[in-house]
Chains A and B, each alone.
Chain A
Amino acid sequence: MEVLLSIAIGVLTACGVFLILRSRTFPVLLGLTLLSYAVNLFLFASGRLRIDAPPLIRAGASYADPLPQALVLTAIVIGFGMTAYLAILALRALSESGADHVDAHREP
């Protein structure tokens, strides 16, 4: 499972970085979203991976570390808000400059 998860994180990060380097705002936005997925999976993995273990400490039973789950939740909420704001900002740049270039230049 560790291999699968690390491959997933790697692929997401690579795609995210590739898209962030594009020159239009929409791919950049998608790239940031992919990057935040990768980061969230990474944070989740920082508490070690366990199957069939609830994030609750009970006597004798195995449990998963609950803290990374709380951290991921916070990170998801913050990332979601930020991405939504960036989308609005990109739309505003589009309506003001007539192009969705990241520098908001008019197309040549």
Chain B
Amino acid sequence: MNANAPILPILIPLAAALLQMASGRLRFQRVVGLLATALLVLVTGWLTLLADDGLLRVYALGDWPAPFGIVLVVDRLAAAMTLLTAVLGFLVLLYASAGFDEEGIHFHPLFQFQLLGLLGAFLTGDLFNLFVFFEIMLLASYVLLAHGGGLTRTRAGISYVVLNLVGSALFLIALGLIYGTLGTLNLADVARVLTLPGYDRALARLAFALLITVFALKAGLLPLSFWLPHTYSAAGAPVAALFAIMTKVGIVAILRVQVIALEPVMPDLLDNWLTTLALATVAFAALGALAASRLHALVAWLVLLSAGTLLVTPAQASAEVSAAALYYLLQSTLAGAAFFLLAGLIAEQRGKAADQFLAGPPLPATWLKIAFLLAATTAAALPPFSGFVGKLMLLTTTRGVAAGPAIWVVVLISGFIVMAALARDGCALIWKHKAAGTPLPGRPVGWQRATATVLLIAAGPLLAIGARPLSDYAARTAAQLHAPGAYVTGVLGAGTTTGREAAP
């Protein structure tokens, strides 16, 4: 059973999606989807516990040994990311099952496919397989984005799809170059071949530059990030909440490729430009947050801000910075998703004003106001919640690096701008009323949506309380990540035996 654990996070959503497609009944699809994601949380939690022993679990698909077949590799990073995806997926699905899924067809199977793509992208150890999982994730996201209909979503959808299709073309060109120069697409084998002589260094460098560009497109690095606020603010609340983890796929991919393949041979590939552009992204996102006219759009800018902050880290090539980044990644994903869900709830209670920062009818429920305060405090990185802890860790660890002063200045000033924006817009949402200030009879929130939102918002305080064990885990994860030699021997060493024997 343990030996087959790495494939389970991919099989569960696949089986659920097939089952859901077999029957078109919404009730059945909901039950299957919720059961599958709950199971996914258990399985990925178990996987995370298993992975904490520091061993690399290599699962050879079809039992083909590593450089020839496709492998799934579970280290602490992959396991933790799958757990995060599963938890987020479960809560978002709970929220969406309270009515959002009725606004269009095939929501549930597509949701499972999106999870499948995300989980696969975190688990795979093969670059072409990464492309395939990216495409599964994107294909589902194209349709989920358009879920609910309307011209705004279609418009956002067209530019999003076109941009990602061009991104896929670049991805394939990069893969073609890597295969043409190095003769392999397995990440560990690529790292091994890169250290050997006898390949065209210029072409390999070009290939990895293209690859990083594609990942930067998914992550929303500045010149490639204009699609992100546009797309995320057009998506429905649960879809946007799930998308909050999509930028993180690009960031984790950059981190992994950089640490495992690039750092030993071409450490200068990411230097300077990545940190500079990431800081520019942070500043751009802070200004965008200040200019946003709707809560949903504001949260989209905050997601971009957290992506920019995280993109500062891969070029630092330091395990400490990566550990801080992992904690920040965990909390910013949950905080962003929580805020998206909350924005959806608030918009429904304010009639025509929706989530625009205009004077409207007062919010009927007090808990929504308190939830907004908690979510905004976490998002603005104010103490005592997890946003503050994450930013503090990031700033402390970047103190020693060369770009440290620039990182401090940009991150702190943009944090201040975001705080000002949230304070101003929160006042407009909660305290500014029209003269006849009676609450509208909005759509009832329902226990599913309330539970999902409250649990995600509670992640802010909870992650702050559990900051010690979590940051310890993050430190162990980063230590394992920053030992590329162990990764390479772990994956290719399994080439002599089988994947099944490699796992204890």
Binding site for B on A (CB under 8 A): 20, 25, 28, 32, 35-36, 38-40, 42-43, 45-48, 67-68, 71, 74-75, 78-79, 81-83, 85-86, 89-90, 92-93, 96-97, 102-104
Contacts and interface: CB of A to CB of B under 8 A. Distances in A.
Contact of A35 (B146, B151, B166): B166
Contacts, number: 96
Contacts of A97: 151, 154-155
B165 interface: yes
A40 B173 CA distance: 9
Contacts of A86: 158, 161-162, 165
Interface stretch (B175-183, B273-281, B310-318, B398-406): B175-183
A103 B158 CA distance: 8
A14 to B, nearest CB: 13
B191 to A, nearest CB: 19
A103 B143 CA distance: 18
A68 B179 contact: yes
A102 B139 CA distance: 19
Size class of the contact patch on chain B: 20 to 34
Given A32-B166, A75-B172, A85 B143 contact: yes
A42 B158 contact: no
Contacts of B132: 74, 78
Contact of A32 (B150, B157, B162): B162
A89 to B, nearest CB: 5
A102 B169 contact: no
Given A45-B180, A93-B151, A104-B155, A20 B173 contact: no
A46 B177 contact: yes
Interface of B: 128, 132, 135, 138-139, 142-143, 146, 150-151, 154-155, 157-159, 161-162, 165-166, 168-169, 172-173, 175-177, 179-180
B166 A25 contact: no
A104 B230 CA distance: 14
Contacts of B165: 32, 35-36, 79, 82-83, 86
Query: Chain B interface mostly helix, strand, loop or mixed?
Result: helix
A37 to B, nearest CB: 10
Nearest to B129: A74
A102 B155 CA distance: 8
B185 to A, nearest CB: 8
A43 B176 CA distance: 5
Going nearest first, the 6 A-B pairs with the smallest beta carbon separation are A46-B180, A46-B176, A104-B155, A43-B176, A93-B154, A39-B172
A101 B165 CA distance: 18
B155 A93 contact: yes
A78 B143 contact: no
A93 B179 contact: no
B154 A43 contact: no
10 contacts: A32-B166, A43-B172, A46-B179, A46-B180, A48-B180, A71-B128, A74-B128, A78-B135, A103-B159, A104-B155
Given A45-B180, A85-B139, A96 B154 contact: yes
A40 B166 CA distance: 13
Contacts of B176: 39, 42-43, 45-46, 68, 71
